[in-house]
Amino acid sequence: MTAVGHLIAIDQGTTSTRAIVFDAKLTPIAAAQQELRQIYPAPGWVEHDPEDIWSAVIATVREAMAKAGTGAEDIAGIGITNQRETTIVWDRVTGKPIHNAIVWQDRRTADACAALRAAGHEGAVTDRTGLVLDPYFSATKLAWLLATVSGARAAAEQGHLAFGTVDSFLLWRLTGGKVHATDATNASRTLLFDIARGQWDDELARLFAIPAGLLPDVRDCAADFGETLPELFGGAIRVRGIAGDQQAATIGQGCFTPGMMKSTYGTGCFALLNTGPQPVRSRHRLLTTIAYQLDGQRTYALEGAIFVAGAAVQWLRDGLHLIGQSPEVNALAQRADPLEQVYLVPAFVGLGAPYWDADARGALLGLTRNTGPAEIAQAALEAVGYQTRDLLEAMHADWPVAAGTVLRVDGGMTASDVTMQFLADILGAPVDRPAVMETTALGAAYLAGYHAGICPGPAEFAATWRLDRRFKPAMDAALRARKWAGWQAAVARVRTRPA
């Protein structure tokens, strides 16, 4: 292992695009970020313009490189991490998308998923993919595009179109159309990938009416993904790593040992529990997914997905105008009357794990004449803790080995001490916040550096993890039980599917 070279992480998320330059020791030295425009064509529909994504990636990489004073010759590799499941289809000749990207939060295919469940297909789909039939995943989004965009199905059957999640689209553009590929973690989120065999499944493709020629090549998370066009960044740079954002955060948190668990709090919340080389099949409506694939070896995880975490704070800011800037929510919540107990069930786009109720909608419950902005702010922050406990209880039931595991956290919301303390309180367990908060980008940079030979193996890398603060539970057990029972009753009020 040498000590030269820099690495670039492209972190393309749901609400923003970032590029971070790391040195060979994985210390971030420069960053750039742009917000991503959200498009809402109809209730429950969420889209992004792929050209917005592309232009932001190029701009942020160039800006970060300029800030770092690095040229293309100084960069040993690029790692890409991305919002998962978001679906793009583009023309193989022109590279132009045939439609806006359909975002992972989008609910337009709820009826299609319900029809597939009613026809008895969910069991077989879950057995092969580890997922459930929900609009969250890519396959029904892709099927919708082929059925809805004029001429799309004929073009796909003739081999003129390409499908990919955001990583694949960016890779295609970065390499000038030379590489149509993805990694195993992003492939595992499509409903089209057999996670045990590690390959696309022909029967699933037929079930969703997806021509096989649309699908990208699937590679390890640390692999040769080609090189960028020289004109983009002043010289060609190898792309050496790809992972979906939650898997990249798992890597960045050093969760390489079975039983280790992380939870990322961004727009949504995603908890991953490393279960080792064999997939653990959930009996409690969690997802079985690929945590990472290195050197041809797959490692699996149980995952719980919450659709709304930080997005609830954005709603307080942009929808209710209770705060001007997101960090203001902490001081507002701390002014809440402790005798009030308000619950926000943030099912704005349905409920994720372990309920998977696409038709559920959000609710504020427990309102009194004394309820004001402070109590609503507190309810928004507490919802994060309640939803996380939903996930962890299901994980412990599925895989008791994980009981007692310390939760490692990351993402924008973890900067809120108020939220993290409540999380520890309602879990009744410690919560560890790392010294390096940019764990998603760190994971992407590590993958690129590992493939380039400038970063150590997983165990040595994991040993570099450092603690910023451990939040210890301080809530009275009786109060914890009372608040938890109230949350369960609140969720029951909004559910449309039976338990």
222, 245, 268 — which closes off a domain?
245
pTM of the model: 0.87
CA distance 402 to 286: 14
Q: What is the CATH number of the domain that holds 111?
A: 3.30.420.40
Backbone angles phi, psi at 249, to 5 degrees: -65, -35
108-154 pLDDT, tens per residue? 999 999 999 999 999 999 999 999 998 989 999 999 999 999 999 99
pLDDT band at 250 (very low <50, low <70, confident <90, very high): very high
CA distance 15 to 453: 32
Per-residue model confidence (pLDDT) at position 406: 79
312 and 422 housed in the same domain = yes
Q: Residue 304 is encoded by which pair of tokens?
A: 């719980």
Strands (E), 201-252: 217-219, 239-244
pLDDT band at 438 (very low <50, low <70, confident <90, very high): confident
Q: Strand pairing of 217-219 and 181-183?
A: parallel
Asked whether residue 127 is domain-assigned, the answer is: yes
192 and 166 housed in the same domain = yes
54 and 164 housed in the same domain = yes
296 and 397 housed in the same domain = yes
Q: Residue 41 is encoded by which pair of tokens?
A: 């064509």
- Mean pLDDT on 197-206: 95
Asked whether residue 478 is domain-assigned, the answer is: yes
Q: Strand pairing of 407-410 and 431-434?
A: parallel
Per-residue model confidence (pLDDT) at position 2: 37
Per-residue model confidence (pLDDT) at position 402: 62
Per-residue model confidence (pLDDT) at position 404: 59
Q: Residue 191 is encoded by which pair of tokens?
A: 């409903």
Supply the range of the domain harboring residue 195: 6-245
Asked whether residue 441 is domain-assigned, the answer is: no
Whether pLDDT at 227 is above 80: yes
Assess contact for 326 and 313: CB atoms under 8 A: yes
Per-residue model confidence (pLDDT) at position 498: 66
For the ranges 130-134, 265-269, 443-447, the one whose mean pLDDT is highest:
443-447
CA distance 433 to 60: 27
CA distance 80 to 215: 19
469-478 pLDDT, tens per residue? 999 999 999 9
Per-residue model confidence (pLDDT) at position 166: 97
Asked whether residue 410 is domain-assigned, the answer is: yes
Whether pLDDT at 449 is above 90: yes
Per-residue model confidence (pLDDT) at position 370: 92
Asked whether residue 459 is domain-assigned, the answer is: no
Q: Quickly list H helices, 161-244.
A: 166-174, 184-187, 202-207, 230-233
Amino acid residing at 355:
Y
231 and 325 housed in the same domain = no
Asked whether residue 316 is domain-assigned, the answer is: yes
Per-residue model confidence (pLDDT) at position 3: 38
189 and 304 housed in the same domain = no
Per-residue model confidence (pLDDT) at position 208: 96
User: Among 172-176, 193-197, 355-359, which stretch is predicted with the lowest mean pLDDT?
Assistant: 355-359
245, 269, 287 — which closes off a domain?
245
> Quick check: helix, strand or coil at residue 20?
strand
Nearest to 195 by CA among 254, 125, 259, 283: 125
Compute CA distances 349 → 2, 104, 387, 408, whole Å.
Answer: 47, 10, 15, 26
Asked whether residue 291 is domain-assigned, the answer is: yes
Per-residue model confidence (pLDDT) at position 285: 84
Whether pLDDT at 200 is above 80: yes
Whether pLDDT at 403 is above 70: no
20-44 pLDDT, tens per residue? 999 988 999 999 999 999 999 998 8
CA distance 477 to 112: 44
Asked whether residue 443 is domain-assigned, the answer is: no
245, 269, 290 — which closes off a domain?
245
Domains in the chain, number:
2
Percent of the chain with pLDDT over 90: 81
Q: Residue 420 is encoded by which pair of tokens?
A: 């993290």
52-90 pLDDT, tens per residue? 999 999 999 999 999 999 999 999 999 999 999 999 999
Q: What is the mean pLDDT of the chain?
A: 93
Whether pLDDT at 482 is above 70: yes
231 and 156 housed in the same domain = yes
140 and 166 housed in the same domain = yes
Sign of dihedral through CA atoms 91, 97, 101, 107?
negative
314 and 369 housed in the same domain = yes
150 and 218 housed in the same domain = yes
Percent of the chain with pLDDT over 70: 98
pLDDT band at 437 (very low <50, low <70, confident <90, very high): confident
Per-residue model confidence (pLDDT) at position 349: 83
421 and 388 housed in the same domain = yes
241 and 259 housed in the same domain = no
